[in-house]
Amino acid sequence: MVRFGILGFGHHAILRLVPSFAGSTTCGLAGMWRRDPQKAKDNAVAYNIPHNFATPRELCASPEIDAVFVTSPDALHLEHVLLAIKHGKPVVCEKPLGMSAAEAVSMVSASREAGVPFGVAQNLRYNASVLLARQWIAEGRIGTPRLTHVQFCHEAEKSPRKWIYDPALACGGPIGDVGVHCIDAMRFLLQDEITVVSTLAMKDARSGEVEAIAAIALELAGGSLGMVSVTTRAEYRSLFEVVGERGIIRCEDGLTVSRPVDLELRRGGDLIARETVSNADGYIRMLDGFAEAMAGESEFLATGEDGLKNQHVLDAAYASWRSGQKQSVARN
C-alpha cells in the first residue's frame, strides 16, 4: 500500500481525493498539510487521517509518507513539488503544473535528475468516456479527425476555492483552471500535439485580473483544428466532440465524473453506436496507475512531461490573449 500525503488539503481533496483513496486497493491517505492549522486539525479528525503535519517539509521528510499529492494553489506547486523530489518522494501534482512553463521545466528537470516518479493529475485520461473515444478514433471509426471541440463551463461563485480569482495564486481564470483539462483531453484523444494557439477572452468585474470566458482556436501537428471554450459564468457543462472525414464522436458531459454519460458515434446524421459509461472511478484508476508506475509495472498515463506540454499551450494561450496575435507553442 502506497501511503500518500496531501500538500494543500482543501475542497478538491475533500470532494475527490478522500473518497478515491478510500476506494483504492493500492493507495492510502496517510497524512496531510493545510495552510490553515485549525481547518487542518478539523479535517484530520473528520476524515480519519493519521498524520497532520505542521509544515510541508515535515510531511515530505516523514518516513510515514511514501508519495506526495500536491493540491495547493497553483503558485505553490513549484515549491511543493521540488520539496517532495528533494526528499526522494514520488509526486503527483494537480493541474496546471505551475504558473508558467518555466516552472514546469524546473519540476520535470528535478524529477529526471533525482530519478523520482513525477505525474500530473490529469485524471480525465483515466475516464472511461475519454479512453473509449480515443480507442474509436484510433480504430478509424470516423476516419481522419478534422475538427475537435472541448468545452468546460462552471459557476465560479459556487466554488469554495476563492483563490482562483487571485492572479498571485492562480495561473489564470478558466483557461488555466479547466481549459487545461480540455487541452489535455484533446491531445490525448487525438494522440497529437498542439502547435499554434489563438485566444479570445474577456474579464468582468467579478473576475478582476483573470479572464471569465475564453475561446481558444488550436492548430495541431497532424493537420486538424481544435477549439476549447471555457467560462466561469455558466451552469456546469462538459462536452467533447471529434468530427472526422467519415463520422462524428460526441459525448455530452464527457468530462463529468458524477453521473453516467453516453458516448455516441454518428454518420450522415444517423446514430451508429452509443455506449453508456461511468467515469466515477477515474480518480481511483489514476491513483492505482501511479502506484503501478512507482512499482515499475506500467507507465503512468499523465506524466510530468505531459503536464509540461500542456503548460506550454497555456503560456501560448495567454500570450495570444495579451498580444491579439497567433502564438506558436514552444517545444520541451
What are the boundaries of each domain within the chain?
Answer: 2-123+285-302, 124-279+311-328
pLDDT at 162 over 80: no
Alpha-carbon distance 159 to 259, whole Å? 19
The per-residue pLDDT for 132 is: 98
Candidates 3.40.50.300, 3.90.550.10, 3.30.530.20, 3.40.50.720; CATH matching 2-123+285-302: 3.40.50.720
- The mean pLDDT value for 132-148 works out to 98
Q: Is 293 helix (H, G, I), strand (E, B) or coil?
A: helix
Cβ atoms within 10 A of the Cβ of 12, count?
17
CATH code of domain 124-279+311-328: 3.30.360.10
* Identical fold between 2-123+285-302 and 124-279+311-328: no
Angle 53-5-176 (CA atoms, 0-180°, nearest 5)?
110
Neighbours of 141 (CB within 10 A): 17
**Backbone phi, then psi, for 10, in 5-degree steps?**
-160, -150
pLDDT number for residue 81: 98
For residue 138, how far is the Cα from the chain centroid?
22
End-to-end CA distance of the chain: 34
The whole-angstrom separation of Cα 120 and Cα 202 is 28
Report CA torsion sign: 306, 312, 316, 322: positive
pLDDT at 115: 97
Is the C-alpha dihedral spanning 160, 10, 303, 23 positive or negative? Answer: negative
Residue 159, pLDDT above cutoff 80: no
* Higher local confidence (pLDDT), 260 or 206: 260
Q: Specify the pLDDT at position 130.
A: 98
d(CA 331, CA 45): 45
Per residue in 175-187, pLDDT tens? 999 999 999 999 9
The pLDDT of residue 121 is above 90 = yes
At 206 the three-state DSSP class reads coil
CA distance 17 to 115: 26
Q: What is the pLDDT of residues 226-268, one digit of tens each?
A: 999 999 999 999 999 999 999 999 999 999 999 999 999 999 9
CA nearest to 7, candidates 60, 44, 45, 48: 60
> Distance of CA 220 to CAs 115, 146, 258, 306, Å?
31, 10, 31, 16
Residue 26, C-beta contacts closer than 8 angstroms, at least 6 positions apart:
1, 2, 287, 288, 291, 292
